Amino acid sequence: MGAGKTKRMPRAVREQQMLDAAVHVFGRRGYMAASMDEIAELAGVSKPLVYLYLNSKDDLFSACIGREARALTEAVRASRPM
């Protein structure tokens, strides 16, 4: 899926695609070595679109951390007996 082959989809769906790609790249390469080019390519969007949605690499990383922390919290809560 190349960066030039985007199709119209809701912003929330597209943003989740970008976050999924970013979590993968940050997890594999670490923050410093992760590139916005690679994240955009993996998400199937252009690099300018990643910046439009998430402003900067720092903001993208923060959004990833926030999303994954919420998922972890939900998983822990769901596993606790009532």
Residue 54 sits in a domain whose CATH number is 1.10.357.10
Neighbours of 19 (CB within 10 A): 20
Q: Is residue 64 part of a domain?
A: yes
Q: Which domain holds residue 20?
A: 11-79
Q: Is residue 30 part of a domain?
A: yes
pLDDT along the chain (82 residues), means of 10: 63 96 98 98 97 97 97 92 74
Q: Is residue 1 part of a domain?
A: no
Number of folded domains that form the chain: 1
Alpha-carbon gap, residue 48 to 51, rounded angstroms = 5
Q: Is residue 29 part of a domain?
A: yes
Alpha-carbon gap, residue 36 to 81, rounded angstroms = 41
Q: What is the pLDDT of residue 1?
A: 45
Q: Is 52 exposed, middle or buried (0-12, 13-18, 19+ CB in 10 A)?
A: exposed
Query: Dihedral sign, CA of 25, 30, 36, 37?
Result: negative
Indicate the pTM of the whole model.
0.83
